[in-house]
């Protein structure tokens, strides 16, 4: 890489993480950013240049798109990335059948092997178990290309950190942990993240530390969310409001951090990352937390059913389908599970769904049609939206 920034950078994976990385790099002065994604729909939306058509709706991406769209192009072919001086790998490792699927990372290594040039940096932002970057990416890539690790092929790991929906925390100011397969790779990674992208960096001398740090971050959250959800079940039986308990405990200015109950932790990261660490370590605590998280939607469905019966309603509209209240992203949404569990608890109910930000999962074309149909609205986020006089149960308040 000449200077701090590469002239040409390729991002492998054009989803939530990858598109943030592409926009960030273009804003910081990378002349050409190539996004490679196997989904033609993702490529078409990026290539359209129209911010309103992007599949990632975060303010950082949408608001900066007019400034960077001339520097970003997309393709389904790895050939489009040939000649890049640096690569950021941002493919998913999703849960399939309750297990983490590492196939996308393996395929990324195979695709990169045909286009990576000697001296290039390959930085993976993919959440992975300790040792996984070397096992699934670096060693296969070295074997397929014949390039020697940390000499001709520079490989690093900088686990992604993004805060969906946050205006305060963006790719430009969130500190990053960076590890690498050796000193030359680490130097190149620091030149990219600290020098070019301008982010605060915490370098580590063992790539496994960087990998494990991400799993710790998200497993910490899942453990605490599951604990407070289990506590809610116990305190509900005793007639004690868990939120008042949390409020009281939060007056302690040290040694405590509040977490709040809900129908479960969802999204593309928390359940999957905790599962990954559980598989790697055999942690009993994580297994118990996963069980609590997986059964929490049923508990909330039962709470909701009591409220529904008190209103005598039969047509139930779930308004809001994201993984968090009001979120436009439905990945592993706990409220979708609540809807499924509710329909099984009382087959006599008609259960339908609507979210103006997630039309492909909605049963109605518009809000008016949805509310006209409903007898009761089970709302997830969207506080203050009109309900045409229909009774509302706010799911996060159950």
Indicate the pLDDT class of residue 386, thresholds 50, 70 and 90.
Answer: confident
8-205 maps to which CATH number? 3.40.50.720
Q: What is the pLDDT of residues 145-192, one digit of tens each?
A: 999 999 999 999 999 999 988 889 999 999 999 999 999 999 999 999
**Which of 5, 196, 214, 272 does the annotation list as catalytic?**
214
pLDDT value, residue 3: 56
Which has more pLDDT, 221 or 49? Answer: 221
Q: Looking at residues 322-328, what average pLDDT do you find?
A: 94
CA separation for the pair 151, 320 (Å, rounded): 51
Give tens-digit pLDDT for 108-118.
999 999 999 99
pLDDT digits (tens, 9 = 90+) for 246-299: 999 999 999 999 999 999 999 989 999 999 999 999 999 999 999 999 999 999
Can you tell me the mean pLDDT for 107-132?
97
pLDDT band at 1 (very low <50, low <70, confident <90, very high): very low
Catalytic residue among 232, 269, 272, 390: 269
Does the pLDDT value for residue 21 go beyond 60?
yes
The contacts found for 256-260 with CB under 8 angstroms, 24 or more apart, are 257/224, 259/221, 259/224, 259/225, 259/227, 259/228, 260/228
CB 318 within 8 Å of CB 335: yes
CB 349 within 8 A of CB 366: no
Say if residue 2's pLDDT is above 60.
no
Q: How many Cβ atoms from other residues are within 10 Å of residue 355's Cβ? A: 26
Give the pLDDT of residue 98.
82
In the residue annotation, 196 being an active-site residue is answered as no
All structural domains of the chain with their residue ranges: 8-205, 263-269+296-397
Per-chain mean pLDDT for the chain: 96
Residue 214 annotated among the catalytic residues of the structure: yes
Of 98 and 41, the structure prediction assigns the larger pLDDT to 41
Q: Which of 67, 64, 74, 271 is nearest to 170 (CA)?
A: 64
**87 in Cβ contact with 112 (< 8 Å):** yes
Note whether 8-205 and 263-269+296-397 share their fold: yes
Q: How confident is the model at residue 96 (pLDDT cuts 50, 70, 90)?
A: confident
Length of the chain: 398
Whether the full predicted model's pTM is greater than 0.75, yes or no, is: yes
Q: Report the top-level CATH class of 263-269+296-397.
A: alpha beta
3-state secondary structure 31-50: CEEEEECCCHHHHHHHHHCC
């Amino acid at each position: 890489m000449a200077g701090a920034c590469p002239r040409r950078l390729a991002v492998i994976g054009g989803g939530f993480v990858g598109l943030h990385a592409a926009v960030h790099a273009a804003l910081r002065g990378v002349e050409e950013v190539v996004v490679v994604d196997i989904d033609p729909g993702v490529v078409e939306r990026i290539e359209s240049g129209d911010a309103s058509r992007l599949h990632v709706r975060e303010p950082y991406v949408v608001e900066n798109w007019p400034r960077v769209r001339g520097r970003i192009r997309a393709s389904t072919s790895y050939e489009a990335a040939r000649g890049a001086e640096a690569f950021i790998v941002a493919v998913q490792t999703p849960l399939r059948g309750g297990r983490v699927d590492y196939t996308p990372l393996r395929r990324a290594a195979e695709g990169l092997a045909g286009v990576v040039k000697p001296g290039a940096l390959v930085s993976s932002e993919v959440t992975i178990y300790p040792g996984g970057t070397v096992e699934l990416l670096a060693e296969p890539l070295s074997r397929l290309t014949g390039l020697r690790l940390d000499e001709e092929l520079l490989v690093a790991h900088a686990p992604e950190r993004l805060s969906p929906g946050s205006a305060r925390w963006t790719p430009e100011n969130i500190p990053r942990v960076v590890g690498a397969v050796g000193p030359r790779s680490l130097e190149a990674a620091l030149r990219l993240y600290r020098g070019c992208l301008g982010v605060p960096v915490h370098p580590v001398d063992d790539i496994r530390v960087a990998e494990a740090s991400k799993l710790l971050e998200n497993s910490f959250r899942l453990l605490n969310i599951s604990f407070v959800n289990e506590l809610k079940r116990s305190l509900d039986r005793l007639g004690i409001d868990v939120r008042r308990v949390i409020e009281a405990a939060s007056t302690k200015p040290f040694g405590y951090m509040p977490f709040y109950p809900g129908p479960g932790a969802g999204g593309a990261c928390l359940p999957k990352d905790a599962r990954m660490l559980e598989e790697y370590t055999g942690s009993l605590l994580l297994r118990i937390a996963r069980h609590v998280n997986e059964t929490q939607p049923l508990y909330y469905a039962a709470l909701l059913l009591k409220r529904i019966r008190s209103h005598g309603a039969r047509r139930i509209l779930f308004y809001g389908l994201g993984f968090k209240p009001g979120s436009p992203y439905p990945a592993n949404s706990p409220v979708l599970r609540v809807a499924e569990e509710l329909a099984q608890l009382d087959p006599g109910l008609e259960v339908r769904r609507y979210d103006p930000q997630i039309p492909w999962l909605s049963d109605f074309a518009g809000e008016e049609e949805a509310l006209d149909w409903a007898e009761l609205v089970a709302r997830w986020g969207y506080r203050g939206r009109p309900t045409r006089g229909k009774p509302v149960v706010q799911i996060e308040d159950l």
